[in-house]
Amino acid sequence: MKIGVIGGGQLGRMLALAGTPLGMDFAFLDPAPDACAAALGDHLQADYSDEQQLRQLADAVDLVTFEFESVPAETVAFLSSFVPVYPSAQALRIARDRWFEKSLFRELGIPTPEFADIQSQADLETAVASIGLPAVLKTRTLGYDGKGQKVLRSAEDVAGTFAELGSVPCLLEGFVPFTGEVSLVAVRARDGQTRFYPLAHNTHEAGILKLSVASSDHPLQALAEDYLGRVLDKLDYVGVLAFEFFEVDGGLKANEIAPRVHNSGHWTIEGAECSQFENHLRAIAGLPLGSTAKVGESAMVNFIGEVPALEQVVAIDGCHLHHYGKAFKPGRKVGHATLRSADLASLRQGIDQVQQLIGH
């Protein structure tokens, strides 16, 4: 079976690393000449709107998926007329736009911060008057890793901010005084069968994920599964979907969903019976899903900007290096380490050792 992937970054690369042993082949559509997934499949170097190349991709593969949600909706619609695309164009349309996404949460009765659609500086001022400060202004689309957003704490922060974010449609959200951030990764098959991984505790720095630790018997697991289950069923979703939550007042508030394999699920490569990457491929290919059970204790540490020396990383007990083969650049995710241990104390020790390597 040949899988077409829109986007050729590290998520595409890790999909191919999981699918190759299943006998799958891969083709990646990505305009970047140095797309890091290209080492693992065919690389169609073309723009996402290049219909000739899209047609060529559709002819060459059995089905198409994507590794990032900012794919233009027209690209997915065009491909869908020639080849099955999972997740669907509708799921992508909602998940890529913060307004649609938060409106869906509201419709499904999932708690989320107060929010307002912002089309102008005047809208922003009106919304600040009703939501209050602090608040967070985010572009509705294309934001990632803390980009395209600004925390507003005082009236001075509000002045001119709509233009500062590019005068594009935005969302104003109430600031959540969260005690923690968790994410739930789930996989849903074509027949609706759904499996959930354990919740991961996430730590961000400057908007970028630094550390995910898989939980055991988290008291909010069932609630998170209920919320994510509502979204999956509503969208008749096929594939892996991640849901990021704020922990607040002993409950959960929805932050965002990602219609793809997710950074906070990278621990599953060595830390779960079947990784999020393999399960995504199984789901879209119509295969039985694999177990999402955790194998021991597990965590993931991101390498941002550079990857420490191989010999230092693999010298740490239970530590596995994932180097994305990308050029090192400040603020860029270039690799991660997955840690696996028999108990939490040795997991903590491993995390500390990895963090020392990257100067924490």
Q: How far is the CB of 292 from ligand AMP (least distance, A)?
A: 23
Told to check if 286 binds ligand AMP by CB under 6 A, we report: no
Question: Per CB under 6 A, does 97 bind ligand AMP?
Answer: no
Binding segment (CB under 6 A) for ligand AMP, from list 15-23, 50-58, 85-93, 175-183: 175-183
How far is residue 143's CA from residue 318's CA, in Å, rounded to a whole number? 34
| The two three-digit tokens of residue 30, written as one number | 């990505």
Q: Which is nearer to ligand AMP, 181 or 247 (CB)?
A: 181
Q: Residue 272 CB, nearest distance to ligand AMP (Å)?
A: 22
Alpha helices in 132-275 (DSSP H): 155-158, 161-164, 221-235, 268-271
34-37 contacts, C-beta under 8 A, 24 or more apart: 34/326, 34/327, 35/8, 35/9, 36/8, 36/9, 36/10, 36/324, 36/325, 36/326, 37/5, 37/7, 37/8, 37/9, 37/10, 37/12, 37/13, 37/67
Q: Interface with ligand AMP includes 146 (CB under 6 A)?
A: yes
Helix (H) or strand (E) holding 179: none
136 binds ligand AMP (CB under 6 A): yes
Four-residue CA torsion sign, 266, 233, 189, 56 = negative
Nearer to ligand AMP, 3 or 224 (CB): 224
Taking CB under 6 A as the rule, which mask of x and - marks residues 217-256 in contact with ligand AMP? Answer: ---------------------------x----------xx
Residue 82 or residue 175: which is nearer to ligand AMP going by CB? 175
The least distance separating ligand AMP from the CB of residue 32, rounded to whole angstroms, comes to 22
Q: Which of 175, 230, 312, 325 is in the footprint of ligand AMP by CB under 6 A?
A: 175
Rounded to 5°, angle at Cα 28 from 276 and 88: 60
Catalog residues that contact ligand AMP under the rule CB under 6 A: 113, 136, 143, 146, 173, 175-176, 181, 204, 207, 244, 255-256
